[in-house]
Amino acid sequence: TSPHDFLRAGTSLLRWLTAYREVHCRSYPVISASRPNALRDALPPAAPEAPEPFSAILSDCTRLILPALTHWENSAKFFAYFKPHSSYPAVLAELMAAGLNVMGFDWIASPAATELEVVTLDWLGDILHLPPRFLSRAPGPGGAVIQGSAGEAAIVVLLAATRRAQRRAASLPETAPPLSDVHSDTNRHRCVVYCSDQTHAIVTKACLVLGLSVCSLPTTAADGYTLRGATLSAAIAAHLAEGKLPVAVVATSGTTTSCAFDPLAEIAAAAAPHSLWVHVDAAYGGAYACLDEVLPLFAGLDACDSFCVNAHKKLLCPFDLAALYVADRTPLLAALSLTPEYLRNDASESGAVVDFEHWQLGLGRRFRALKLWFVLRRFGASGIRAHVRRGTSLALTFAQRVEASPFLSLAAPVSLSLVCFRCAPLHPAAAAGDAADDELQTALLEAVKAKGVFIIHSRLGGVKILRLACGGVEQRRREVIAAFEVIEAE
- Footprint of ligand PLP on this chain (CB under 6 A)? 81-82, 149-151, 200, 202, 252, 254-256, 281, 283-284, 310, 322
Residue among 228 and 312 whose Cβ is closer to ligand PLP = 312
| Closer residue to ligand PLP in complex, CB, 282/423 | 282
Close Cβ partners of 447 (under 8 Å, ≥ 6 residues apart): 490
Nearest distance, CB of residue 479 and ligand PLP, angstroms? 22
Q: Is the peptide bond between 320 and the residue preceding it cis, with omega within 30 degrees of 0?
A: yes
Nearer to ligand PLP, 231 or 253 (CB): 253
Closest CB to ligand PLP among residues 322, 444:
322
Return d(Cα 100, Cα 256) in angstroms, integer.
Answer: 36
Q: How far is the CB of 310 from ligand PLP (least distance, A)?
A: 5
Nearer residue to ligand PLP within complex by CB, 245 or 418? 418
Q: How far is the CB of 188 from ligand PLP (least distance, A)?
A: 22
Which residues are within 8 A (CB) of 420 and not within 5 positions of it... i.e. 6 or more apart?
A: 257, 258, 410, 411, 412, 458, 460, 465, 466, 467
Nearest to 308 by CA among 188, 419, 458, 206: 206
Residue 4 CA to residue 23 CA, distance in Å, equals 28
Q: Determine if residue 452 is left, alpha or beta; phi over 0 gives left, psi from -120 to 50 gives alpha, anything else beta.
A: left
The residue (of 149 and 233) whose beta carbon lies closer to ligand PLP is 149
Closest CB to ligand PLP among residues 202, 270: 202
d(CA 63, CA 208): 41
Task: Provide the minimum distance between the beta carbon of 416 and ligand PLP in the complex, in angstroms, as a whole number.
Answer: 11
Of 213, 207, 216, 266, which is closest to residue 243 (Cα–Cα)? 213
Residue 315 beta carbon to ligand PLP: minimum distance, rounded to whole angstroms = 12
The alpha carbons of the chain give a radius of gyration, in whole angstroms, of 24
CB of 81 to ligand PLP, least distance (A): 6
> From the CB of 121, what's the least distance to ligand PLP, in Å?
16
Q: Which amino acid type is present at position 216? A: S
Residue with smaller CB distance to ligand PLP, 156 or 283: 283
DSSP strands (E only) in 207-351: 213-217, 245-252, 277-281, 306-310, 322-326
Identity (one letter) of the amino acid at 408? L
Q: How many residues does the chain have?
A: 490
Sign of the CA dihedral with 355 first, then 359, 364, and 368 last: negative
| Closest separation in Å from C-beta 252 to ligand PLP | 5
